[in-house]
Amino acid sequence: MNGHDWLLDQLERRQARFRLMDHVPEGRTDLASALRRHSLAQAAKCLVVRVATGRRSRRYVLAVVPGDRKVDLDVLRDMYAGREASFATRDVAERLAGSVSGSVMPFARHPELDLVADPELLVHDEIFFNAARLDRSVALATEDYVAMALPRIHPITQLSVGRLPVAPTLTAPRMTG
């Protein structure tokens, strides 16, 4: 069963509160969020990370973070007592996730894939993600997502570069006279 069909089956079996949204094919989180008309913070950005735990051993993690955040690879490395962490190659990520890049769902179906979700994503009533297809998305009640996916919940993000707070501009007082 492909990822899309598996997801729909699980959502219906679990009687999850969800909505399907068809749209033009899009895999970038920011653009897909605009198409779906929700805040970037509600988008479940899903990235496969490779953590080297020894000379020849590794773990793969499906990191699920808000769309306006970046995965902190150092945190994942430390969580798994690893030597280094990096993004998995595209072919490995697609094989483990069971879908093409840009359409990865926040569910770990492969036995070699651990699932870790950042708590900042889970503060919203609903989360949004591509449904293992670039042209269809799901809005899913966050409570139902957590009950279905059973992710390990741990802070794994840093602020995205474009979202860093800006230091106030200081101006010299004007002299009159």
The angle formed by the CA atoms of residues 126, 23 and 33, to the nearest 5 degrees, is 45
Q: What is residue 2's three-state secondary structure?
A: coil
What are the structure tokens assigned to 25, written together? Answer: 């094919």
What is the spatial distance between Cα 160 and Cα 67, in angstroms, rounded to a whole number? 9
Q: Which residues of 30-62 are buried (b: 16+ CB within 10 A; e: fewer)?
A: eebbeebebebbbbbbbbbbbbbbeeeebbbbb
Query: DSSP class of residue 166?
Result: P
H-run or E-run covering 145: helix 142-149
Cα–Cα distances in angstroms (integers) from residue 30 to residues 2, 5, 56, 64, 128, in the given order: 25, 25, 36, 15, 12
Domain boundaries, the chain: 3-159
Q: CB of 69 within 8 A of CB of 157?
A: yes
For residue 104, pLDDT over 50 is answered with: yes
What is the spatial distance between Cα 116 and Cα 167, in angstroms, rounded to a whole number? 32
CATH number of 3-159: 3.90.960.10
For residue 46, pLDDT over 90 is answered with: yes
Question: Per-residue pLDDT averaged across 150-163, rounded?
Answer: 81
What is the spatial distance between Cα 173 and Cα 61, in angstroms, rounded to a whole number? 53
pLDDT band, very low/low/confident/very high, at 169 (cuts 50, 70, 90):
very low
Question: Given this model, what pLDDT does residue 21 score?
Answer: 97
For residue 176, pLDDT over 60 is answered with: no
For residue 120, pLDDT over 70 is answered with: yes
Per-residue pLDDT reduced to its tens digit, 56-87: 999 999 999 999 999 999 999 999 999 999 99
Question: Given this model, what pLDDT does residue 167 score?
Answer: 40
What is the spatial distance between Cα 40 and Cα 163, in angstroms, rounded to a whole number? 11
Phi, psi of 44 (to 5 degrees): -90, 95
Query: DSSP class of residue 121?
Result: G
